[in-house]
Structure 1
Amino acid sequence: MSSALPTTLPALVADAARRFGARPAITDGDTRLTYAELDQWRRRSARACMAAGIAHGDRIAIWAPNVHEWILAAIGAQSVGAVLVPLNTRLKGPEAAYILRASGAKALFTVDEFLGVNYPELLKDEALPSLALTVCLRGEAAGTMPWSDFLDGADAIDESQQLACETAITGDDVLDILFTSGTTGNPKGVITLHAQNIRTFAEWSGTVGLREDDNYLIINPFFHSFGYKAGWLAAMIRGAHILPVLSFDLNAVVAQIERDRITMIPGPPTIYQSLLAYPQRDAFDLSSLRLAVTGAAPVPVKLVEDMREVLGFEVVVTAYGLTESCGVVTLCRAEDSPERISHSSGRAMNGVEVKLVDANGETVPAGTEGEIWCRGFNVMQGYLDNPEETAKAVTGEGWLKTGDVGVMDEDGYVRITDRIKDMFIVGGFNCYPAEIENALCSKPGVARAAVIGVPDERLGEVARAYIVAAPEASISAEEIVAWSRQNMANYKVPRTAVIVDELPMNAGGKVLKGQLRERAAREMA
């Protein structure tokens, strides 16, 4: 690998084409692209963007599952200096529309249908004043342009124009805006740049040991930094072979590990637990497995040992990060013991500082609980159009306040112990009570809502809602859950609801979530 990587996405892909040429870049069903071919498609996608009027600084959104067209649309738009805005495939229409409006997205790349959901149909009644173009990456949908027709537009643009466009991009240009849920109720757009993302995932991929001979099965969704940045972006940096998974099916995954000699699988612990518990596992050759990167939930020591001894992984590492840090703050190292990998989320990524502080922002001693702060090249530029929240999150000295509580040992390894912001994790997805409460309070008949996370055997945690009905309104717990399923992404939906006369509050009117958790424990027992 060259000592100095390019600092922009288009230059990175062009450099990968020079370095890896005929090596496989992407295999997606019958579509197989080498790195040289990937760069050719990137340039064609970029010219198509130019023909469609997409220019430097425009925001383009992608609302689609893991398909190779997702990558081609992204790197094409990023090659003209446009800014990528990924949308979670589980969002409902109003949630997606909010992000499209907040980002001012000029174009949307989507699919006609995925898992029974018609994305263009979900947006048909939404006001989207900035959206000028919707492209259907796969299938056909009313009011959209087929991907093939979009690409045909490239013929109207001269290659020299496209090259001039991409060479004008610098490492300090915005690469993407990923929207993250927040405690204020509405998602916030996290702004990050070309150079900082490339450096972050050069460090990440080098530390975990991703190699050019790896066959990388990307199960994590592309709309998330784990599937996008630690996924296909990291693969392009290292020259690894990208194999996207449309939707997780254990039978198909096990067969693909054998068929495609998969070496790298990332994901939450449940992925590996499923492989270990698979009844027919011994009927398949899984000996190619080499590298596993996990996180987003506690990892038992026994799981790390079994991943190495039973599944045959040479390297198992855990990591910690957040959208505001380009996705990475700390990493375990390949040589770390199973106990260290289980009991920590690693130590600071090279070039990044991490400290734990008390309520006054003073550093606490090793072994003492504190809020995790980080500083370095990976810290976001700020929240889109939200200087107040940016100032709350990043200090004048450049420290990002993560809102997570942990303990750091003498060697700098961090163990996450709590979450200041009441966040809980449902099957690997971050859930913020304030956002769910905001949505619930928009339902007629709901006066107040309080949401907490409660244990769930399959997903780790799920939402439980406590609802105060409006005067003279009649609502049921079943109605609350059913309404939530219609109006929220599935992972946010409260699995249970309780109708109460009042919520426990302190003198300042703040809901006492601790009392609700105690009550939930009693009720569920």
Structure 2
Amino acid sequence: MQASPSHVAGPTEQPLLQDTVGGLLARIARRWPDRPALVVRGQQIRLDYRGLHAEVERVAAALLALGLAPGERIGIWAPNRAEWVILQFAAPMAGLVLVNINPAYRAHELAYALNHVDCRALVLPRRFKTSHYLDVLIELAPELGDAPAGQLHAERVPGLREVIVLDDEPVPGARRWTKLAADDAAMAHLRAVQATLSADDAVNIQFTSGTTGAPKGATLTHRNIVNNGWFVGEAMRLTEHDRLCIPVPFYHCFGMVLGNLACVTHGACMVIPGEGFDALATLETVAEERCTGLHGVPTMFIAELAHPRFAEFDLSSLRTGIMAGSPCPVEVMRQVVERMHMAEVTIAYGMTETSPVSFQTVPDDPLERRVDSVGRIHPHLEVKLVDEAGATVPRGDTGELCTRGYSVMRGYWNDEANTRTAIDAEGWMHTGDLATLDADGYCRIVGRLKDMIIRGGENIYPREIEEFLYTHPKVLDVQVFGVPDAKFGEQACAWVKLREGVQATEAEIQDYCRHHLAYFKVPHYVRFVDAFPMTVTGKVQKYLMREAMAAELAARRD
């Protein structure tokens, strides 16, 4: 008997939501005005849905009053703060496109992001930990201090006009978030703009990379992210009585969609433990705020479970949450269920280009299925696994995972060629991930067509690092790949061929990267080689490099 094809379609009984992001918040605020909406412990901010909606409206109207026009891009380059959440709803309410910028970016990465989407405004704090955001921006736009607010003309970021600083200390040439104002005329303008918005309008740009190494701006609509947040929350069985602790970053879909939008679509409360992940702060927040849900990548849960003060905290309020971002070790999942009381924890799989979730486990799934699979297909989505010729493979066979449905992005911003490569003529998004589907529709991710490295939930694209290292005067050739790591899942490793007659050290290469790239992209291992393993046709064989490094590291541990 021939096996059925690896093709599944999600249920469609629940209709898709037709809300815009701003319309969603308004609807939820009318339904549950007095329910807690946002708790940000570090800033001592507590807002109910009435208060959150009022603040979002104020900021949305103020942005339009600055002269920003619907369809223009506004970037946010900041860690997890209340203002991030407010802008997540205010920008689309004003018809603007929110551009998520990784807080770990350095100057050349920031410049690329701003210029690629022609960002008109940028919201940022002065600093966070060792990242001095304002200093980096001034490096790109030294004219900032001389230009009146709203009249910035910088050569390296020519589209940027407005800089909005989250701190209250004045910055010459920039505006202060706390001083953004909206009068009656601005509110009337906002109402007029809202009447023109469609759920199919672009609302968000998130940067992702492919084999070319150049970051691409995945462009998502209201419909994409509102519905994905809704169905994620449905799988978690969220209600207006839930309080979700969100230590994962907002610039990523995990925080923004699986966290914030999953909460708002269900009237639940977003609880933010800090600007960046801290295991102790997360445990304190869950216990003191009586959170019912907790999100994290496996390394976050590992850090929480291993914290020396773990036993001090009453986590009995927890029941649900999402573990995603990289494969979950079975023992970690068991400890999360048993020691953290998260009996209904779910696993989710997706990618930025699909808003992001396509598969998710549900509380009724046995624990084994929540570890050995990423669950079953989400509603209103369709997935098939195909071979190299594009034919659907039989159940149980490995194929490339392709997704179709409401969640597929509009495309890569201003990049038709890469959009056509990623989304075929029939609307299938080719993910580059290798997977299997079993007879019950459970999906297992078994590998990647692309060489993307996942380090503790952060996506690292080797070609981007390789292209940067080619700018080092001593580097002749370089190959970057991932090697297994007990703590982070994977670490980046660079094999480097030096130019003739020069010498370099591992620290020298790492320092060169550290000054120009986000910390998680800096190769953890650097090896100097005379040649790379190649096929007879001249193609580099990264899998052989990976095997060699894994063997070296294993021998070192022994």
Please classify the TM superposition score into its range, dividing by the shorter chain length. over 0.9
Per-residue displacement from partner, 1:290-338 (whole Å, max 9, x unpaired)? 1121122222333333322222123011010000101111111110011
**Structure 1 partner of 2:25:** 13
Q: Distance in 2 between matches of 1:402 and 1:297?
A: 15
2:240–2:268 contact (8 Å) kept in structure 1: yes
Pick from 182, 192, 195: which aligns with 1:164? 192
**Structure 1 partner of 2:109:** 95
1:70–1:137 contact (8 Å) kept in structure 2: no
1:157 Cα offset (Å)? 3.3
2:115–2:157 contact (8 Å) kept in structure 1: yes
1:508 Cα offset (Å)? 4.2
**Structure 2 partner of 1:72:** 86
**Structure 2 partner of 1:239:** 267
1:484 Cα offset (Å)? 1.0
Q: Distance in 2 between matches of 1:374 and 1:381?
A: 13
1:6–1:15 contact (8 Å) kept in structure 2: no
RMSD: 1.7
| Counterparts of residues 10-409 of structure 1 (less than 5 Å) | 10-29=22-41, 30-126=44-140, 127-140=156-169, 141-149=171-179, 151-152=180-181, 154-155=182-183, 157-244=185-272, 245-409=274-438
Q: Distance in 1 between matches of 2:76 and 2:452?
A: 26
SS at match of 2:368: helix
Structure number with greater CO (CA < 8 Å, separation at least 6) is: 2
Q: Distance in 1 between matches of 2:359 and 2:16?
A: 23
1:50–1:157 contact (8 Å) kept in structure 2: no
2:104–2:131 contact (8 Å) kept in structure 1: no
Q: Distance in 1 between matches of 2:435 and 2:119?
A: 37
1:368–1:407 contact (8 Å) kept in structure 2: yes
368 and 5 in structure 1: CA distance in 2 versus 1, 3 angstrom threshold: closer
Q: Distance in 1 between matches of 2:168 and 2:434?
A: 45
TM-score in terms of structure 2 length: 0.90
Per-residue displacement from partner, 1:74-105 (whole Å, max 9, x unpaired)? 32221111001010111111111100100100
SS at match of 2:53: helix
1:4 Cα offset (Å)? 7.3
Q: Distance in 2 between matches of 1:98 and 1:508?
A: 34
Q: Distance in 2 between matches of 1:286 and 1:191?
A: 38
Q: Distance in 2 between matches of 1:468 and 1:306?
A: 44
1:222 Cα offset (Å)? 0.6
Q: In the alignment, does 2:517 pair up with 1:488?
A: yes
1:394 Cα offset (Å)? 1.0
Letter in 1 for 2:96: A
SS at match of 1:124: helix
1:138 Cα offset (Å)? 2.4
1:446 Cα offset (Å)? 1.3
1:275 Cα offset (Å)? 3.0
1:501 Cα offset (Å)? 2.1
Unaligned runs of 5+ in 1: none
Q: Distance in 1 between matches of 2:87 and 2:333?
A: 37
SS at match of 1:128: coil
1:282 Cα offset (Å)? 2.8
1:339 Cα offset (Å)? 0.6
Letter in 2 for 1:25: A
Letter in 1 for 2:35: R
1:93–1:123 contact (8 Å) kept in structure 2: yes
2:348–2:374 contact (8 Å) kept in structure 1: yes
Q: Distance in 1 between matches of 2:367 and 2:524?
A: 34
Identity, in percent, stands at 38
1:241 Cα offset (Å)? 0.8
1:83–1:175 contact (8 Å) kept in structure 2: yes
Q: Distance in 1 between matches of 2:334 and 2:455?
A: 25
Deviates more, 1:342-351 or 1:29-38: 29-38
Runs of 4+ that moved beyond 6 A? none
1:142 Cα offset (Å)? 4.9
Unaligned runs of 5+ in 2: 1-13, 141-155
1:354 Cα offset (Å)? 1.1
143 and 511 in structure 1: CA distance in 2 versus 1, 3 angstrom threshold: farther
TM-score in terms of structure 1 length: 0.96
1:14 Cα offset (Å)? 0.7
Letter in 2 for 1:226: F
1:505–1:512 contact (8 Å) kept in structure 2: yes
**Structure 1 partner of 2:468:** 439
1:200 Cα offset (Å)? 1.7
1:54–1:77 contact (8 Å) kept in structure 2: no
6 and 356 in structure 1: CA distance in 2 versus 1, 3 angstrom threshold: closer
Letter in 2 for 1:381: R
SS at match of 1:108: strand
Q: Distance in 2 between matches of 1:204 and 1:82?
A: 25
Q: Distance in 1 between matches of 2:168 and 2:516?
A: 25
Per-residue displacement from partner, 1:453-498 (whole Å, max 9, x unpaired)? 1122221111110111224443222210111111111111101211
329 and 308 in structure 1: CA distance in 2 versus 1, 3 angstrom threshold: same
1:507 Cα offset (Å)? 4.3
The count of residues paired between Structure 1 and Structure 2 equals 522
